[in-house]
Amino acid sequence: MKIKNTNHFLLFLFVSVVTLLLFAQSCKKSEDDLPTLSISQSVTTSEGNIGQSTVAVELTLSAAANNPVTAQLSTEAGTAKAGVDFVAFTNSEVVFNPGETSKSIAVNVIGNEEHEENKVFYVNITNLQQANMGNSKAEIIIENDDPFIPEVFFDSITRKNEGNSATQQAAINFRLTGIAQNPVKITYRTFTISATPGVDYTEVENETLTINAGDFEKKIYINILGDTNFELDDVIGIEFTSVEGAVMEHESAVIKIINDDTYTPQLLADGYITPMEYPDMQLIWSDEFDGSSVDANNWTHETGGGGWGNNELQIYTNSTQNSFVSDGKLNIVATSNYGNYSSARLISKDKQEFVYGRIDIRAKIPYGQGIWPALWMLGTNISSIGWPRCGEIDIMENVGYEPKQVHGTVHYNDGGHQYTGGSYQLPNNENFYEKFHVYSIVWQDDGIRWFVDYEPYYYISSTSIEYGAFQLPQFFIMNVAVGGNWPGNPDATTVFPQTMQVDYVRIFK
């Protein structure tokens, strides 16, 4: 009985194993009978211009199916962006009915007229039913078909020394952002800003510069007519009236003609003196101090003490002991009364205010430890925006312990107080207090130059500092300070009184 039951169990086990093997083989055969679905591996299409175009992506079954085959398709961004370069879709269903083996789906590409690199995006198969998966991702390559349109760059300001009688050439170099595929043509003409055609330069009307295909830069040349006149710098405008085959952000440029002529001032017994007029310049204002008192139409006395921001010792007054006009000269006198110092400070604020020009001031300065004469300017907006935002131009400063040297400086705001300047020293061991000298600046919209007796010694340009404050009006200040952070205090060697004499202040344009 026991043996019989064992035989039955073994028979049952054998039948079960055979059945499972037959079922597994049947399932494998059924799976092997399913077709394979694949999508195009790579499709290339032209981008086109404005609007949308369609690219066809092919789906194929390896064999016709007995049952419907379904799948979902979705786009995937690559270097191409959805909504910019192609129209995106997600889980879009595609159905192969029995007997069908291929389908074409339309994918929309968005065109533009911008030259750019080729871009790529993808279409993926997901959620496949009743078929095996072959290649599941199609790469869509969008080929740029827009021509390369270069951008033109050039220097907005070109500077050229004027020279004497010979003709100079000022060059403006045009550079493309890449090699030109087609000729680039730029039509230009000159126009007057301050330079005079036929006198300062040769006029140009509707000339064309051509940058040939295969090139990426070329120059135009404007003739500058030299002379020997001591004058202000002049400016020529260049207008670009049309551009073909490229784009250009700016429509004009300027050429700055730098006056490089010298002028020899007349030397009198009491020092150098300059003329009332220059070729090609106009005197627009002056104070010759020919009256019997300080002209109230030009000057106001600033009075008081308190250090003036520099720990100065003097009190400024409007007393004739400290300032007066005599013999055609303004006298500013610093005095000491048992160590109590007084002086004068005259300003032209709200009376005489200027922007740009040539400024000549003939003056004879004092000397000595602790003496600080200055001829300078401040922005007229100082009351509203303060110092140093208003800007300060020091035409001449001297610290009395350096009688052979004067300084020219600008102060301005650029994230806080900044300053820059230069100095000039007299030759032959001379002292500034011995004679009159002419302290000048040539102040223009793109820079300032400093001179002593027509000798240039310092220059700043609008590109070297934060220059905005110096493109607005300023007023004059003339004073003699006593003591302070820079000159230090007077000592036993300092002689009082000390006088600064000003013969004239002149502005030319």
280 token code pair: 């090609």
| Catalytic one of 151, 312, 397, 430 | 397
Cβ count near 340 (within 10 Å) = 11
Query: For residue 290, which phi and psi values (nearest 5 degrees)?
Result: -90, -5
Return the bridge partners of 407, or none: 397, 423
* 434 is annotated as an active-site residue: no
* Start-to-end CA span in the chain (Å): 136
DSSP assigned state of 450: E
Question: Which tokens sit at 68?
Answer: 């419907």
How many residues are recorded in the chain?
509
Q: Report residue 206 as tokens.
A: 């509707």
Integer Cα distance of 505 and 438 in angstroms: 10
Q: Which conformational region is residue 218 in: left (phi greater than 0), alpha (psi within -120 to 50 degrees), or beta?
A: beta
- CA torsion sign, 450 to 452 to 453 to 456? negative
Judge contact between 482 and 312, C-beta under 8 A.
yes
CA distance linking residue 43 with residue 289, whole number of Å: 88
Q: Which of 47, 231, 312, 392 is catalytic?
A: 392
Q: Which residue carries 């054998």 as its tokens?
A: 14
- Could you tell me which of 21, 112, 103 has the C-alpha nearest to residue 58? 103
Separation between Cα atoms, residue 90 and residue 98, nearest integer Å: 25
In sequence order, what are the beta bridge partners of 447?
A: 444, 461
Q: How far apart are CA 86 and CA 50, in angstroms?
A: 12
Q: Which of 122, 107, 125, 120 is nearest to 59 (CA)?
A: 125
Task: Return the HEC string of 456-482.
Answer: EEEEEECCCCCCHHHHCCEEEEEEEEE
Radius of gyration of the chain (CA): 43
Separation of alpha carbons 440 and 454, rounded Å: 7
117 is an active site residue: no
> Is the CB of residue 100 less than 8 Å from the CB of residue 36?
no
Q: Which residues contact 368 (CB under 8 A, 6 or more apart)?
A: 400, 401, 490, 493, 494, 495, 498
DSSP 84: T
Residue positions annotated with a catalytic role: 392, 397
